[in-house]
Amino acid sequence: MKSLSSTAFSLFGAALVAISYGLARFAFGLFVPPIRAELELTPYVIGIIGALPLISFLLATLVAPFAADRLGARNTAVLSGVFGVGGLTLISQASAALSLGVGVFACGICTGLMMPALTAAMQALVKRSLHGRVSAVMNAGTSIGVIVAVPAVLFLAGAWRFAYLSFAVLAGFGVLAAWYFIPSVSRVTPANAAPPPPISALQWSRLFRLSLFAFVMGFVSSAYWIFAPDLVVTLGGLPPGATGGVWLAVGIAGLGGAVVADLADRNNPPITQALMLTMLSASLALLAASPGQLVLASFSALVFGLAYMSLTGLYLMTGIRLLPGRLSMGPVLPFMAVSIGQATGSPVVGLLVSEFGYADAFAMFSAIGILAAVLSPLYPRYIDHGPEEEAEDDTGLQAAFDHQLLGDDGEPLKPIADIAEEAINP
């Protein structure tokens, strides 16, 4: 194994996330129009197939922390990549709904295993004082993967099989790179770290509220991820290649999501949740109202990408904050809730499209999202503000990671390197 610097590891992790999240999971919606036309699938069947990678992602997420501990970061990342290669290859050769479904199911397993493997590797390779920065860069990989998929649909709109085969080749390179660069050890915990305290009733209550909001967001967003490209082609009459511009807008705007989530932690998470969920819901309504206008459709995608990535980042940070000392559990619960929401919403929106058409189906999902946004004052407040200047220093993604390891006094456990630096420069 070749050791990577913190910067190099963050970029490498973003590349693997781009493959496992962007290409193996979210690129599917981009190719729905040509796939549905060639395989003669109804919107309802597409909705069912679109739910399969979310179900497999959920199942993989449940076992991923144990896999990272038992198998080590390297083997877990390689296993994730193998599922990605297999799933993408199966999609490229799909001849019917069954083979297509098996392929996307395997891709969901790839997605669920990758981030826990990278998190374990990060804890072994990267200084704890840089965990927030490195994690933010890796999370941006989802948007990068979505952007990478755009040239494929622009130049290969009628050759989706070749596009997916190309994705499989990229995933194969990712497997080799993971074997070479990721350490075999799992996460490293300092010997002087105190065990996490038992989860209190108040924490469970806040986690439940967080999971409800995450579920609704996943439910509403499923309409866009699976059916937005098909909507602009079927209802708006745009050529299949035009969907590449829509997806490019989603990816570019999504890059700003980590910044918004970090700012939310420094200001007011419930207000951010309300604003971003309203924006996400409005993007669905705008797309349904103007599917034939490429400029408006692209603007809708910009709004959706920023809102979706901001909300996932906010939920990630909230989960970490609510469960200090339990990094393998805190961020997992909201992501599971998002996936359950998407897995539930995908067949529902497919059924509504078949019964009422795209415009009405998207309008219904938009209304659900706006209703949830109105209830955002119930979003869990996880920062116990002390003096104003103190709260300001104790916010942001890095601060959330700092609280994952506590000493016997209940205070964040500082890395030895940081303690030594303070002794030299008091």
Judge if pTM exceeds 0.75.
yes
Residue type present at position 253: A
- Give the integer Cα–Cα distance in Å for 302 and 288: 15
Give the model confidence (pLDDT) of 114-143 as tens digits: 988 888 888 778 877 777 778 778 888 888
Q: Would the pLDDT of 197 be above 80?
A: no
Contact 361, 233 (CB under 8 A): no
- Give the integer Cα–Cα distance in Å for 7 and 395: 22
What kind of architecture, by CATH, is found in domain 6-187+199-381+390-402? Answer: Up-down Bundle (1.20)
pLDDT at 394: 54
Contact 312, 306 (CB under 8 A): no
Domain ranges of the chain: 6-187+199-381+390-402
List C-alpha distances in Å: 238 to 25, 94, 155, 242: 24, 25, 16, 6
- Indicate the burial class of 355 (C-beta count within 10 angstroms; 0-12, 13-18, 19 or more): exposed
Q: How many CA atoms lie within 13 A of 395 on its CB side?
A: 23
Q: Would the pLDDT of 333 be above 70?
A: yes
Give the model confidence (pLDDT) of 245-294 as tens digits: 888 888 888 887 766 666 666 667 888 899 999 999 999 999 999 888 88
List C-alpha distances in Å: 172 to 80, 223, 365, 375: 11, 30, 37, 44
